[in-house]
Amino acid sequence: MPDSRVPRLRRFLVCEPRHFAVQYSINPWMHPDTPVDVDLAREQWQALIRAYRDHGHTVETVEPVAALPDMVFAANCALVLGGRVLGSLFHAPERRPESTAYDAWFEGAGYEVHRAESVCEGEGDLVPAGRFLLAGTGFRTTREAHRQAQEFFGVPVISLQLVDPRFYHMDTALFVLDDGEDGNIAYYPEAFSPGSRAVLARLYPDAVIATREDALAFGLNSVSDGRHVFISSRAKELADQLDRQGYVPVPLDLSEFQKAGGGIKCCTQELRP
């Protein structure tokens, strides 16, 4: 099995953490009193970008804006699927101005941005998984936004209820290992309501199940190209499980970003053709 895992080359949009900081608190990870090592953050982010490029992926960058410290979390700005862009409507007033900068990038790149009409935080909660669009709600993205996403993309949306504030975005508790028709996922069941857990178990009987420890180490905030899994270096058990299933873990440490409640996937917006 190991050598049958074939990577699909991706195109990513990222934002350099030039103005990254923890200045306000909009999730339980954020403590403005805890110092962030900005030089280390920049090195960690550069190592991530290097790893993507070394594995053949294309990386585009949007210019960071001063006074928008969370703009580095590019995953939240939109969902791009089939070349169509559903632009976010951020929950926190502090993050709303990010949309102006991201919209300008998308328009400059030839995309037309359709704005979400209800709170919607892009790939933070909307996760394309083969034939379905998995959609989290509970803390940020609303069910109304799920409905709009289904209508806009024409992909069946599976709404999933998040219940633990530490896993306030679905991409902190679940990621897609391979997004073919019969693709698979990895997730942390306790982040979801009992009904949503049952839905995931029914759709993905062979899913990789993470421990709480690995989930809290942002192990599920990973990016997979179908073969390589760019994963938090602290999620050791999960990396071992993936290795046994024929994936190739690429461990990276994004400790500084965890202080803002983010990890590898949060820093990465995928531009799906």
Of all residues in the shown chain, the one whose CB is closest to ligand ARG is 266
Tell me how many residues contact ligand ARG (CB under 6 A).
16
d(CA 73, CA 70): 6
Q: Is the Cβ of residue 204 or residue 257 nearer to ligand ARG in the bound state?
A: 257
Q: Determine phi and psi for 15, rounding to 5 degrees.
A: -135, 120
The set of residues, in sequence order, having a beta carbon less than 8 Å from that of 95 and lying 6+ positions away, is: 26, 68, 70, 76
Q: Is 228 annotated as catalytic?
A: no
Whether 31 contacts 259, CB under 8 Å? yes
How does DSSP classify residue 57? -
Site for ligand ARG in 89-148 (CB under 6 A): 95, 124
Q: Is the Cβ of residue 29 or residue 204 nearer to ligand ARG in the bound state?
A: 29
Alpha-carbon distances of 78 from 6, 45, 191, rounded to whole Å: 27, 20, 23
CA dihedral 8, 11, 17, 19 (to 10 degrees): -150
**Closest Cα partner for 99 from 82, 129, 121?**
121
Site for ligand ARG in 55-94 (CB under 6 A): 70, 73, 75-76
Q: Determine phi and psi for 24, rounding to 5 degrees.
A: -145, 175
Position 215 contacts ligand ARG (CB under 6 A): no
Q: Which stretch binds ligand ARG (CB under 6 A): 1-9, 153-161, 192-200, 257-265?
A: 257-265
Position 172 contacts ligand ARG (CB under 6 A): yes
Position 270 contacts ligand ARG (CB under 6 A): no
- The only residue of 262, 264, 269, 270 in contact with ligand ARG, by rule CB under 6 A: 262
**Closest Cα partner for 2 from 248, 266, 235?**
248
The nearest distance, CB 14 to ligand ARG, in angstroms, is 12
Q: Is the Cβ of residue 72 or residue 158 nearer to ligand ARG in the bound state?
A: 72
- The only residue of 7, 11, 19, 27 in contact with ligand ARG, by rule CB under 6 A: 27
Active site residues: 169, 266
Question: Interface with ligand ARG by CB under 6 A: which residues?
Answer: 26-27, 30, 70, 73, 75-76, 95, 124, 169, 171-172, 260-262, 266
